Amino acid sequence: MKAAFFGPEATFTDIAVQSVFPEASRVAYRTIPECLEAVKTKQVDMAVVPLENALEGSVNLTVDYLYHEELPPIRAEIIVPIEQHFMVHPANAGAWRETEKIISHSHALAQCHQFLRREFRHAEVEAMGSTAAAAKYVSEHPELKWGAIANEMAAELYGLEIVRRAIHDYPFNHTRFIVLSNEELHIEKTPDFLKSTIMVTLPTDKAGSLHQVLSAFAWRKINLSKLESRPLKTGLGNYFFMIDLNHSLEEKLVRFSLEEIHALGCTVKELGTYYRYMADK
């Protein structure tokens, strides 16, 4: 089974894949859209991409792609605990406080803002495509006094030395990854709980439209665990809504709710019903 993931090797997405699909043949892609296109065109059996971080919120590129493109359903969700470490090339480990530039993914840099402000006011900060890409770059340029923020797997793979561990600002740092596939997946790991995701577009911008949608769930006692708006990209003030339900889309009350929402003139896109899995620490 081939699994596309947001690469290169040793990203947190790679950790998610290895934790839940240890036997899968992993294929790294440079961008999230490339991962999703790979599973859409059946170049791979599944794609694993980041959806939301507990500190920095949703990955907007993933959310927008789920809305605007026709993709396979979500088959699983993987929760990965995130530990960010500061690492340098071994040649520069003795003088790591003299680091001139720090590189990482934009989310990782934001998650470690207080550490950077406290320890490296003098250093330049630059965003890279991923934490692993940053670690790889530092490993290939020992002549530069640069450091990377990444995970322990990246440090081991690219031969970097971790000089400060667990530098993220808040201890509860987790990221949600979703698994998309054209086929049902057999997962041996024990799941946490069942959930579903839909996207709703309101017919017009009028008072009470969103209230009516939420009421369709509320009076049937259907629990929602997430509600988020994103721009439709058709003009200011136009939004769609991403909603997570702690229920299966096949439950009768959920189907009745969706029928009521359709009757209101809303457009509903069902992304799938799936189980949540916790990655190993």
Q: Structure tokens of 195?
A: 């959930």
Output the CA–CA distances (angstroms, integers) from residue 196 to 12, 74, 263, in the order listed.
23, 9, 21
Distance (Å, rounded) from C-alpha 3 to C-alpha 37?
Answer: 12
Q: Structure tokens of 271?
A: 């992304």
Distance (Å, rounded) from C-alpha 5 to C-alpha 12?
Answer: 10
- Helical H runs in the chain? 12-20, 32-40, 60-68, 106-111, 113-119, 131-140, 152-158, 209-218, 252-263
- Helical H runs in 47-130? 60-68, 106-111, 113-119
Active site residues: 175, 177
Distance (Å, rounded) from C-alpha 49 to C-alpha 130?
Answer: 12
| 95 DSSP 8-state letter | G
